[in-house]
Homo-oligomer: A and B are copies of this chain.
Amino acid sequence: MPTGDIRYTSPPTATNNSSPIVAFEDEVWLWSQIKAEARRDAESEPALASYLYSTILSHSSLERSLSFHLGNKLCSSTLLSTLLYDLFLNAFATDPSLSLAAVADLRAYRERDPACISYSHCLLNYKGFLACQAHRVSHLLWRQARRPLALALHSRVADVFAVDIHPAARIGKGVLFDHATGVVVGETAVIGNNVSILHHVTLGGTGKAGGDRHPKIGDGVLIGAGATILGNVKIGEGAKIGAGSVVLIDVPPRTTAVGNPARLVGGKEKPSKLEDVPGESMDHTSFISEWSDYII
């Protein structure tokens, strides 16, 4: 996680204090908030009430609601919703960090995406959020050496959400996949905490050899829409990757890389340093003037 002079925008309890009790209280508060939102929406919109009751209001916890919703979203005629529901319930019961991560992710969407008008809206409708939670479960299966099942789940997520995150990839907390369609994250990729990744972003490999071959994304990084990062390169903490960039090199912390192929804003030798955490501030375009100067 970024340190020093970086400004945090999320409330202290959510990110600074990771004791189990605080985390549990945090989830309890969030779940009650989600139910309150869903209740309000159900009252104002009867046509949606059935949907809100089946997905949120009839459940006793965030984990059960998520398991139900994902089971019904990801099922197919050969992978039944009841089987997937069971799988998700078991995963949440086995690994409490899944819930913590879901809570942190919900906060990330709510804080960073101005189009996200409520937690319940994110829980129900954001394919990036849902794909990421399903990934966390397939990652757990992968770590438990249940690879065929992990890959079958991964395949359903890739079909249903058009989000393709390899089960072995490791993803931190508070991660925002905005819009999410077309995201591809390879087997040995690692994504830190509080990262924001737009749609069509690729964290890809470089050949047909196995081994550690995908990018490592530091905490607080922002990766713009359509950016392609290839190979076992390191994107430092708090760095920013411009939309549409093709990155084949390491990017130092708190610097900006843009273009195809991507270069560092401010120059390779002494790149400009960012003052905020782009993964949280979501500022995609502040480098424009500087970049323009640099290129044209």
Whether B243 pairs with A113 at a CB distance below 8 angstroms is no
> Whole-angstrom distance from the CB of A64 to the nearest CB of chain B?
8
Decide if A251 is an interface residue (CB 8 Å cutoff): no
Whether A155 pairs with B182 at a CB distance below 8 angstroms is no
Known: A68-B82, A207-B283. A51 touches B152 (CB 8 A): yes
Whether A243 pairs with B228 at a CB distance below 8 angstroms is yes
Interface residues of A in 151-194 (CB under 8 A from B): 151-152, 154-155, 158-162, 164, 166, 179, 181-182, 184, 186-187
Known: A47-B149, A281-B208. A71 touches B76 (CB 8 A): no
> Whole-angstrom distance from the CB of A254 to the nearest CB of chain B?
17
Interface residues of A in 124-165 (CB under 8 A from B): 124-127, 146-149, 151-152, 154-155, 158-162, 164
> Whole-angstrom distance from the CB of A251 to the nearest CB of chain B?
14
Which interface residue of A75, A154, A181, A206 has the most chain B CB atoms within 10 A?
A181
Decide if A218 is an interface residue (CB 8 Å cutoff): no
Known: A77-B72, A206-B285, A228-B225. A45 touches B149 (CB 8 A): yes
Query: What residues of chain B lie closer than 8 Å to A79, measured between beta carbons?
Result: 51
Whether B48 pairs with A54 at a CB distance below 8 angstroms is no
Query: What residues of chain B lie closer than 8 Å to A248, measured between beta carbons?
Result: 285, 288
Interface residues of A in 264-296 (CB under 8 A from B): 268, 280-285, 288, 291-292, 295-296
Query: What residues of chain B lie closer than 8 Å to A160, measured between beta carbons?
Result: 159
Q: Which 7 A-B pairs have the closest CB atoms?
A: A125-B155, A50-B54, A50-B53, A208-B282, A49-B53, A244-B246, A114-B210
Known pairs A45-B146, A50-B58, A207-B283 / 14 extra A-B pairs, C-beta < 8 Å: A45-B149, A47-B149, A69-B78, A114-B211, A114-B213, A124-B152, A124-B155, A162-B162, A207-B285, A208-B281, A230-B243, A249-B292, A258-B261, A259-B261
Question: Can you list 14 A-B contacts with CB-CB less than 8 angstroms, sorted by A residue number?
Answer: A48-B148, A75-B77, A115-B166, A115-B187, A125-B152, A162-B181, A179-B184, A181-B182, A181-B184, A200-B202, A204-B225, A207-B283, A224-B228, A224-B230
